[in-house]
Structure 1
Amino acid sequence: MNVLTWDGYDINDGAVYMTGLTSPILAHALVQGNEVGRHGRYPLIGGVTYPGKTFTLTTILLTATAATRAALRTIFETESGEIKTLIIEGDDGTEQYVQALCEAHYEEDEVGNVFYTVLRVHDDPAWRSTAVQTDTESVTSDGQQWTIDNDGDQVARPTITITPTDTQPNVNAYRRFVAVRWRGDASLNYPTDIVNNAWDSAALVSGAKLQADGMIYGCW
Structure 2
Amino acid sequence: MAQKLEIGVVGLGKFGLTLAKAMVDLGHDVIGVDRSEANIRRAQGVLSQVYQADATDEKALEQIGFKELETVVVSTGSSMEASILVVLNLQALGVGRIWVKAMSEEHERVLYKLGVPFVVFPEAYVAFQMAHRLAAPGLHDYLGLGKDVVTREILVSKWTGKTLRELNLTNTYSVQVIAYRHSGEADFSFVPQADKALEEGDVLVLLGNTKDVIKINNY
- TM (norm. structure 1) is 0.23
- TM (norm. structure 2) is 0.23
> Comparing both structures, which one devotes a greater share of its residues to strand?
1
